[in-house]
Structure formats: structure tokens, C-alpha cells
């Protein structure tokens, strides 16, 4: 369902600085992407990125990469702290899943830190299940959970 508060559009290269600062604000040093890493993912030819705006100002974004022909990977989803719990994360996730479904992907994978309880609640709400634990995935100390969801239409 459309959310009148937010407008979604594709990422443009002019957005880079804003997205990088938002990612820095969302994650601690060591988990947040370096400029080089974020730039790599945003310009990856096997992926896409969607930006969410309110009143022309970027409030969040999602970066997706196609891992295999039939699987999408959420590289990151970031919503500005003061815009959370207003449905933007859901809009971004639904838009990304819908685009992947149209591109004949039938599953989505992602990693999340075991101590990121807001994100775990969010993904559970979106139907993601734990596939496995990846020891010391973040900063060589914090475990990650790999989550997955089937998105095929039937």
C-alpha cells in the first residue's frame, strides 16, 4: 500500500554523500561501510538501490545485489533515526522484493548482527527466517544471522 508520507525513487549518483552519512549514522564504526564499500555496492551492475524521501529529503535507502540468477541479497537497509517506525523500512523492503520478484528471483537473503534487535523484529515482521549463524561476521567478534525468505508468487 502507498504511504503518503514517503516517496520512493531509484538511487542517483548525487545521493552518494547523503547515503554514506546516513549509513555512518546507522551503524557503529567497523560495521558501517567505508565510502569505497558503499560506492562498490551502489554501482554494482547486478543490483539496484531505492531511496525514500519525505518532502524532498532522503530519509532512508535499501541496496540490493543479485547473488545468483534466482536470489537477491539485501546489502543494507537504513532509515534515519527520527524517521523510524513510520513505515519507510517496510516501503523500501516491499519495493525491493517486488522488483526482485519481477526479475524472477524467488528468494531473498541477508545478514544481521545477533544483537540488532530492532532489525531482527523488522525482518521477522517481514517473514524472514533464520537460516544459519555466521560466527564473528562483524568486526571479527559479533555473530551474524543469515536470514532468508521465499518471494516467489506461488
Question: Strand, coil or helix: what is 75?
Answer: strand
**In the bound complex, what is the minimum distance in angstroms from residue 76's beta carbon to ligand COA?**
6
Is the alpha carbon torsion for 92, 95, 97, 100 positive or negative? negative
Residue nearest to ligand COA (CB): 89
Nearer to ligand COA, 18 or 116 (CB): 116
Question: Strand, coil or helix: what is 149?
Answer: strand
**In the bound complex, what is the minimum distance in angstroms from residue 98's beta carbon to ligand COA?**
15
The span from the CA of 71 to the CA of 57, in Å, is 31
Nearer to ligand COA, 69 or 98 (CB): 98
| Residue environment code for 126-152, b if the CB has 16+ CB neighbours within 10 A, otherwise e | eebeeeeeeeebbeeebebbebbbebe
Tell me which residues touch ligand COA (CB under 6 A).
Answer: 26, 76-79, 84-90, 112, 116, 118-119, 121-122, 125
**In the bound complex, what is the minimum distance in angstroms from residue 154's beta carbon to ligand COA?**
25
Nearer to ligand COA, 69 or 121 (CB): 121
Nearer to ligand COA, 142 or 151 (CB): 142
Amino acid at each position: 500500500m502507498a504511504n503518503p508520507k514517503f516517496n520512493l525513487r531509484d538511487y542517483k549518483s548525487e545521493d552518494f554523500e547523503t547515503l554514506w552519512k546516513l549509513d555512518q549514522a546507522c551503524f557503529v564504526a567497523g560495521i558501517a561501510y567505508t565510502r569505497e564499500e558503499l560506492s562498490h555496492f551502489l554501482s554494482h551492475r547486478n543490483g539496484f538501490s531505492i531511496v525514500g524521501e519525505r518532502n524532498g529529503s532522503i530519509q532512508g535507502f535499501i541496496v540490493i545485489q543479485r547473488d545468483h540468477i534466482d536470489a537477491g541479497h539485501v546489502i543494507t537497509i537504513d532509515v534515519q533515526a527520527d524517521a523510524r517506525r513510520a513505515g519507510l523500512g517496510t516501503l523500501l523492503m516491499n519495493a525491493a522484493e517486488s522488483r526482485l520478484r519481477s526479475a524472477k528471483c524467488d528468494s531473498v537473503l541477508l545478514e544481521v548482527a545477533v544483537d540488532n534487535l530492532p532489525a531482527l523484529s523488522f525482518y521477522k515482521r517481514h517473514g524472514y527466517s533464520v537460516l544459519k549463524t555466521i560466527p564473528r561476521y562483524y568486526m571479527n567478534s559479533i555473530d551474524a544471522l543469515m536470514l532468508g525468505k521465499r518471494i516467489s508468487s506461488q
